[in-house]
Structure 1
Amino acid sequence: MKRVQQGFTLIELMIVVAIIGILAAVALPAYQDYTTKGKMSEASALAATAIKNINVAFNDGSLSATTANADLGMAAAGSITGKYVASVTAAGTSATVGTVTIVMRGFNDTAIDGKNVVYTVTCTAGASCITTVGGSVPTKFYPKT
């Protein structure tokens, strides 16, 4: 009696392994960027109070070039921290512009650790305040405003 062979050939297995390798090579960097962007969201969460306080200081006329965390009713920069945020510093640069500087940490990535995200709040009398994002973190990781 003749037995029928069952199973996969070597070439079929090699093709499957090659396809999995290609998919992994594409998916891994995309996943790493995705998780980094998720971690960066902590920056915008911790900056929200400082941005709001700069808006309030502008509206009540107390925003100036010497405005700092304490003037905005916030804790010292080094005591506002998170898992991925080392400090949050709010400062006025003029009577109509304030900045919130956030120093990042804990990413195990030299492109981000120790770098900063800077929110610039520009206010116009009789209008609203506009917030823009900048800093030394790569632009693809900037949190939303």
Structure 2
Amino acid sequence: MTTAGAVVAALTFVWLGMVFAISFLEAPLKFRAPGVTLPIGLGIGRLVFRALNAAEVVWAVAILIALVLGSWPGVAVPITAGVAIAALAVQLVAVRPALTKRSDAVLAGHEGPRSSAHLVYVAVEVIKVAALIWLGTAVLVSAT
């Protein structure tokens, strides 16, 4: 395996692990903890997802750099990396602002109608996870 391949594989699986741990474990479980109210859970979630998204941007940029510097047989690795990075961009640019607006309203005491933005975020998260699994696998397969 080339250095670029090793970097992409490592960063991909670290990124994937972070998304699994935060999005699919921490996020739903925090609301089940005793004493965690909706405002407290939203406050924690905002901090945690801000940190996760910042780390994801770092991993995405590092993967992009490794992709540019490396040599890849076929198109599977660049395309799947592009899908994962595009999913992150959609979350950050299109979905997070709607989630922030909704959580701001809830934290200000204005429940209002429920938003579908959370479901969209989860759907894009599933796409991102699938792309990261595919990316990591494609890098490992291309190394053999």
- The TM-score, its normalising length taken from structure 1, stands at 0.34
Higher share in helix: 2
Higher share in strand: 1
Which one has a bigger Cα radius of gyration? 1
| Greater relative CO (CA pairs within 8 A, separation 6+) | 2
- The TM-score, its normalising length taken from structure 2, stands at 0.34
